[in-house]
Amino acid sequence: MSEKVLQYNKPSLQGSLTVPGDKSVSHRSVMFGSIATGTTTVEGFLLGEDCLSTIDCFQKLGVHIEVEGTSVKIESPGMDSWQEPTEVLYTGNSGTTTRLMLGILAGSSVHSVMTGDASIGKRPMRRVIDPLRQMGAHITGRADGQYTPLAIQGTKLQAIEYNMPVASAQVKSAILLAGLRAEGTTIVRETEVSRDHTERMLRQFGADVEVKDGVVSLEGGQALSGTHVSVPGDISSAAFFLVAGAICHNSQLTLENVGVNPTRDGIIEVLSKMGATMTVMPNDNSQAEPTATIQIQTSTLSGTTIEGDMIPRLIDEIPILALLATQAHGQTIIKDAEELKVKETDRITAVVAELKKLGANIEATNDGMIIEGPTPLKGASLKTYGDHRIGMMGAVAALMTEGPVTLDDAQCIAVSYPSFFEHIEAVR
């Protein structure tokens, strides 16, 4: 672990930033480029540890992948020519890699074993494995497949119709990726729409996917062809600077090329509801993922309620939104967010515990939290729980505190935002 002491003395933040590439899109660009036949080029790739784990897994399957800066070139002969890996596929801290790989490997022609770090070893996998087993997948693992390590024997699959019990892009994507290799039409029904990066990228690689009224349909046996992918800036990473710009005094920040996919833009809607002084300027988009330039400045904020179908659109931003709420006038309620309990850590418990150390007036509930503000924050020693988003929340809090903030493990932030502290220095 890498302890880091942060003392910023309440700076005003000024300037422009381009945040790293979207993590979800970066993962999928490598996955789809490896499934496809031919050459795929990717620009704006996120060089975070999670996405590098995805590259490593496919290299072990015999896919030729070159990385030069934030550009990636993938040359794949297609899934039927993959090599059976001689080593365990190690997914690190990446839930996306682990869960989506299950869907891909289930319909492959290889046998593989997959595991991750200690955090992944605690995260539930049956939510993915159960529908895959309904399709005929042969997957075994600890606690009957609830936890890694997992062994996957690729086999022929049958399409299913699946009603999603919880909004999860990872579960939906795993089923759809298995559906590519299944006999028949795979249908996934959502009651709350989750991230649609997989559906968009399937089309980009030449697949026919139908999406209507929360129902996604995919005919099996479709072949993908290599293409070019331009990765937008990650809105979940941008969220930390959007919040910093809103709560730090005399601040004005511009964030360039931010992905504003409508299944991911909940942070923008919440900031607007709370009264943030913010301008969103859409770019001329020809790519599958829409982008925008976002300007934000110091704002007088009011508490709000974040609930229901908003939650899947900002599930990864809730830690930083909780910090934002400590500086808003009145009460902020976050509910319907039980999914936070099965992230890198139990983020409800972790966020409340660490913000309390800073002096926040915050209480946990069964499905979220209640925050009263505004509250002056003080320095403290914080745990990150090895969770990149908790770590970045603590670092942004340090911009507001009287006294230093110590993070017990700042290195975990490199999972999604390797240049995070450099970017803080660039604008303070």
Does residue 172 have a known ligand-binding role?
A: no
Token pair of 121 as six digits:
């070893």
d(CA 221, CA 339): 33
Does residue 316 have a known ligand-binding role?
A: yes
Residues 220, 186 contacting (CB under 8 angstroms): yes
Does residue 95 have a known ligand-binding role?
A: yes
Does residue 170 have a known ligand-binding role?
A: yes
Does residue 53 have a known ligand-binding role?
A: no
Does residue 123 have a known ligand-binding role?
A: yes
Residues 55, 72 contacting (CB under 8 angstroms): yes
Place of tokens 């989750």: 194
Cis upstream peptide for 149 (omega within 30°):
yes
Residues 171, 192 contacting (CB under 8 angstroms): no
Does residue 335 have a known ligand-binding role?
A: no
d(CA 129, CA 320): 31
Following CA atoms 411, 5, 402, 400 in sequence, which dihedral angle do they give, to the nearest 10 degrees? -30
Residues 238, 258 contacting (CB under 8 angstroms): yes
Token pair of 68 as six digits:
């030069």
Does residue 28 have a known ligand-binding role?
A: yes
Q: Known catalytic residue: 208?
A: no
Select which of 196, 234, 316, 409 is catalytic: 316
Does residue 168 have a known ligand-binding role?
A: yes
Dump the DSSP string for 104-151. HHHTSS-EEEEE--TTGGGS--HHHHHHHHHTT-EEEEHHHHTEEEEE
d(CA 55, CA 75): 12
Which residues define the annotated binding site for 3-phosphoshikimate? Answer: 23-24, 28, 168, 170, 316, 343
Binding residues: 23-24, 28, 95, 123, 168, 170, 316, 343, 347, 389
Q: Which residue numbers belong to the known binding site for phosphoenolpyruvate?
A: 23, 95, 123, 170, 347, 389
Task: Give the catalytic positions in this structure.
Answer: 316
